[in-house]
Amino acid sequence: MAEGSGITGEALVGPTCPSERVGEAACLPGHIAISAILTRRGWPGIAAVVHASADGRFRVQLPPGLYTLHVLQNPWHPPAPYPTQSAIEVPVRAHAYTSVTVNFDSGIQ
């Protein structure tokens, strides 16, 4: 495994306030704990399992390659936020961490 390469990221949920309006202070997105798996293009099976903490942050060391992050679950019960993307492609380069954001729609309008 290449030292110091992988994926770092966070999981966010929003909007967090009902009826946000133009010109008003926007409500910041919240963080959400999630679990996900990473697969690597051209390789069979699971490359890594990701568990974002309550602050929505995660970090996993991986060798260089093209990965796909698949969201498995979040700890919310219905009505649960839904990921805006169920699979996110993430390239990992040698000696670098690629940053990724997993966004969830809270359903608040």
CA 103 to chain CA centroid, nearest Å: 7
Domains of the chain: 6-17+28-105 (2.60.40.1120)
pLDDT digit string (tens) for the chain, length 109 residues = 446 999 999 998 877 777 666 656 667 778 888 889 999 999 999 999 999 888 999 999 999 999 999 987 655 555 566 667 778 999 999 999 999 999 888 777 6
Two structure tokens written together for 46: 């699971």
pLDDT of 34-46, one tens digit each? 889 999 999 999 9
Distance from C-alpha of 67 to C-alpha of 93, rounded to nearest angstrom: 11
Query: Which residue in 66, 71, 78, 81 sits closest to 30, CA to CA?
Result: 81
pTM (two decimals): 0.79
Contact status, residue 103 vs residue 14, Cβ threshold 8 Å: yes
Query: Which residue in 99, 96, 4, 15 sits closest to 58, CA to CA?
Result: 99
